[in-house]
Structure 1
């Protein structure tokens, strides 16, 4: 987490204690996770929902008690009462509607992946700077207290300098109608689960990798990568990851793990990324005296709703309060990494990431 450029609240916002939110689309992530979170967050007020399927939008609004329903996204963006919008649309629409929202004078919280190309992220950075509005990528996991504790452990030299990280995410996504199985909609393991793994590794090392190499296995029918493995070279440290959309469990959550190897110890998360349901979790730490898989210390975290934490923090940021934030330059590093992984799979060799903004 880091400081980022956020404009001061305007006069209307300063007169209120909450941010007025609108949502573009009635996707499941919105109706089941983020819109309920917007209603629970003290600094947020959910004002409006837009859906191109008006009947679907009206049903969702009635179920959730949302006062305004629009039949088009543009109509919601034209509403002067809306301060910020949440964009949970299919991946290939994230860039277009984030740009349009920023241009309409709204702050934006967009689902991951923020875009499908690094070039699109760079264009979003330019629009953000020109409009003076704030935009973030919706990685709820970064708001979980375990990640702040992780930073504290590294700062305290609990495991020494980080030498390597290993990340895994897997789940059964077998529905042909699932957008994750549509290559034209940014489907596949790397764009979906891989964005978590790459983002988390970059959080661990505080920077993107220098070069990457990957092996991808494709579904012959869906034509998406269903098992993707990679090695990320950070120069003086490495990360390895595997993400899979046809492996592991078929329950309400993905299989996920993250382990970090330090110069004189190690640690591992047992639920590091997206928590579809608030769940107790742990960071286990092994020092220089540990053996095998057995930790010397286990840090437990009570169940928290990451989506509530995310929209509350974002809203407080817009209200001018000093809270953490993650600029979309982080997404630039993630997308450059994913693009390089696809290129590596095609070439069969290492691919260097571009540098600079």
Structure 2
């Protein structure tokens, strides 16, 4: 008898769960059964917080539960690969927080594990399935701004807490893996191809030894995409797509609201004020719920994933090149592409 829902388990009690668990539980064809921690007390506290029925006192206990179909992994970056592999070896599908690995070689390990197990593995870039980003792609494909020539963007926050995992190099912290990856994945998705080369400037925090400020230029051959990111400046996020006849501005590109419509500005205005602007509103949704439902539908139907691991590998190849460029001070090609 065919299943009509995916039963989820949450691996880890990270703060991101505050955004993910309830939307996932209420998403179509999804139900969250329980949450796991290395501590039974901590797992129970989290289960109570989210109204879940089961608290697992170890990650292994969750993976041994035969009712669990899929796991959402919210563990620290440096153990994403380890527990993703353990999960698929236990017969579970995996939706893992980004970055799914620390470099492209680690994603290769996951591709091998996926192919061996027959389970789905996906990086949880929730923005990629949000309707506002699907609309951006449609508008550009339809010629709303003419020929796309340039992409600009930025993503920043201010976090100097030494106890935060984003500021701990040994846990895979740093700005590029945490937020710089978003302008990369959205630029690649909208442009529809891979960059040929990148050049980057990066600043390290002298105490935390993680990257806290970076500027990146990606050469897509006919389209230039640039962005900056920072973990120690005033919070900001914006993405703009510039064409020969106009531009599209994504007002809140990465932390889209779940309580009001997302908005896109389609502009033909010039510096002299000639032209027209129009705001497009996108129906209210929760991007975490949309991502979970999209993943569940693929699993239940056996259809292709919205974001296959090959896409995650391509994104990580760009990230790897950005790190190399920051060290070399030169343009770096995208290895393996």
* TM-score of the aligned structures, taking structure 2 as reference length: 0.95
Q: Which residue of 2 aligns with 1:4?
A: none
- Is 1:156 aligned to 2:135, yes or no? no
What is the distance in 2 between the residues matched to 1:351 and 1:157? 31
The question of 1:265 aligning with 2:246 is answered yes
Shift of 1:264: 2.2
Tell me the distance in 1 between the aligned counterparts of 2:149 and 2:314.
20
CA distance in 2, matches of 1:114, 1:274: 19
Name the Cα RMSD after superposition: 1.7
CA contact (8 A) 1:170 1:243 kept: yes
Number of residues paired by the alignment? 335
Matched, 1:189 2:175: yes
In 2: Cα distance, 1:266 partner to 1:321 partner: 37
Deviation at 1:94, TM superposition (A): 0.6
Report what 1:66 is aligned to: 52
C-alpha displacement of 1:317? 1.8
- Residue in 1 that maps onto 2:237: 256
Given the alignment of the two structures, is residue 29 of structure 1 paired with residue 16 of structure 2, yes or no?
yes
State the SS of the aligned residue for 1:319: helix
345, 348, 351: which one aligns with 2:329: 348
1:291 aligns with 2:277: no
Question: Which segments of 5 or more consecutive residues in structure 2 lack a partner in the other structure?
Answer: none
Q: What does residue 331 of structure 1 align with?
A: 312
Cα pair distance change 1:351/1:323, threshold 3 Å:
closer
Inter-partner Cα distance in structure 2 for 1:85 and 1:306:
18
Counterpart secondary structure, 1:272: coil
How many Å apart are 1:191 and its aligned residue?
0.6
Equivalent of residue 193 in structure 2, options 207, 215, 221: 207
Are the aligned partners of 1:140 and 1:274 in contact in 2 as well (CA < 8 Å)? no
In the TM superposition, what whole-angstrom CA distance separates every residue of 1:246-286 from its partner, at most 9, and x where no partner exists?
0013xxxxx11000111322111111113365443211112
Deviation at residue 321 of structure 1 after TM alignment: 7.4
Q: Say which of 108, 114, 125 aligns to 2:94.
A: 108
Unpaired runs of at least 5, structure 1 = 1-10, 250-254
Residues 165-208 of structure 1, C-alpha deviation per residue, up to 9 Å, x if partnerless?
Answer: 01100101111111110111111110101111111111121122
Q: How does 1:5-20 map to 2 (within 5 A)?
A: 11=1, 14=2, 16-20=3-7
Partner of 2:189, secondary structure, is: helix
d(CA) in 1 for partners of 2:323 and 2:245?
34
Relative CO higher for 1 or 2, CA cutoff 8 Å, sep ≥ 6?
A: 1
Superposed CA deviations along residues 21-56 of structure 1, whole A, max 9, x for unmatched, are 1111111111x1111112211311111211002111
Q: CA deviation at 1:65?
A: 2.3
Q: Deviations over 1:60-94 (max 9, x none)?
A: 11222212221111121111111100001000011
1:310 aligns with 2:297: no
- Contact (CA 8 Å) 1:57, 1:69: kept in 2 or not? yes
The one of 114, 125, 133 equivalent to 2:119 is 133
Structure 2: how far apart are the matches of 1:98 and 1:45? 20
Give, in whole Å, the separation in 1 of the partners of 2:44 and 2:132. Answer: 37
Q: Note if contact 2:317-2:336 (Cα within 8 Å) is conserved in structure 1.
A: no
After TM superposition, the score normalised by the length of structure 1 is: 0.90
